[in-house]
Structure 1
Amino acid sequence: MAVILLLIVSAWRAEHYILLSFGVMAAGILFLLARFENRKMEVGELVLIAVIAAIASVGRIPFASIPGAQPTTFVIIVTGLVFGAEAGFMVGGVAALASNMVLGQGPWTPWQMAAWGLIGLVSGLLRNRSFMQNKWGRAVYGIIWGFLFGFIMNLWGLFSLGGGGNTLTMDAVVAYFGASLLFDTFHSIANVVFLLVFGDQFIKTLSRFKRKYGLLE
């Protein structure tokens, strides 16, 4: 009902399109959460997802002083690769929500949940592709998502700037995206480093848990 109300209000007051963005974002997140909730899962599977999400969350904190650099995206990519799209989405969404309890919650949190959740979702959907079975292919994939994550978060920033009825100019859009380029570059570099250095071992460890205990088959 809250999502429907947001959509109605945003349609009525067209200048407040940030409400529409929140409505669409919430609708997508709630749909995938409901789908996950309706699955029959063992306790061990829920614990495993919670532990991986905790690792992804805590990983942001030591790197908070480095612009855009953190292992969170790496953990989410590997989770989707090993356990599938739904597990990847859940880890991504929970990691954003949990880590922001330390780093700071705000209206950007749903966008981070959606962006990281989307990374896990797409990683799971593409996990059987040949390039995902190769560490250099995964590295290129990490570069792409480093910039796509920044693009999604830039959309939130632009929506927030224009959400009060302010008109966004092309100069403002270019300046905003240009200002985030350094952060996105560091994010992509961090993804490559973590995927190349720790990717194979992390995938091997998670795959062993999956086979040995029959989790998230």
Structure 2
Amino acid sequence: MRSMVIGGIILVIALMVATYFVVGDSFSFSGDNFDYINSLTMLGGLAIISITVFVALKYINQIKNDTAGGELVEDKWDGIGEYKNAIPSGWGLMFIGTIVWMLWYLLVGYPTNQFSQIGQYNEETLEHQKRFEEKWRNISSNDLVNMGQSVFLVRCAPCHGADAEGINGKAQDLTVPMYASYGIAGLSYPIEYGKKGTIGTMPAFKNILSETQVKAVASYIISIGDK
């Protein structure tokens, strides 16, 4: 046992020396560069390493010298018996403590009706959409067409192509003058709610594009059909 203790002490010293050589410049216990956080980190590391080593030595010694004892349960599994030992008190306290901490975290530490990153993101998204709608509510016809082209290239071009000609029959050719005659209202409906055609089914964009963006895409389609 004495040799194990000596070995543990040597291990602790070796680990701390190695740690200091790796990050020693970050630690200063005096002078103008004193940083109590780094100093506490170093002391905490020393404590953790020391406790870990000596606890491990204690249980290694216990495994080597102690013998099992106690009353066995009647049932056996593959010839392996189980002692009628009570649950360790530490385990029980940790289980109860975990439940208490969970309730505290849920109701006090991080209540569900308070700040959350997801809630903040949703609020900022809605605020951005509101500002977007206000900014482009009275947009000019030229700006509306330019906006529609930008939205079209992102949302519609994967099927209709960047030139809106349908990518060799994959989707409808929107450069046909017929579509320009539908007007903004006639084109906005299939953009918002989708449409099943002879080539395929167009998905609905009502929950993806804003009202202004739908109107802009329709205006862009009309502009390319008028050319």
TM-score when scaled to structure 2? Answer: 0.23
Which one has the bigger helix percentage?
A: 1
Which of structures 1 and 2 has the bigger CA Rg? 2
Q: Say which structure, 1 or 2, has more relative contact order (CA 8 Å, 6+ apart).
A: 1
Q: Give the alignment's TM-score, normalised by structure 1.
A: 0.23
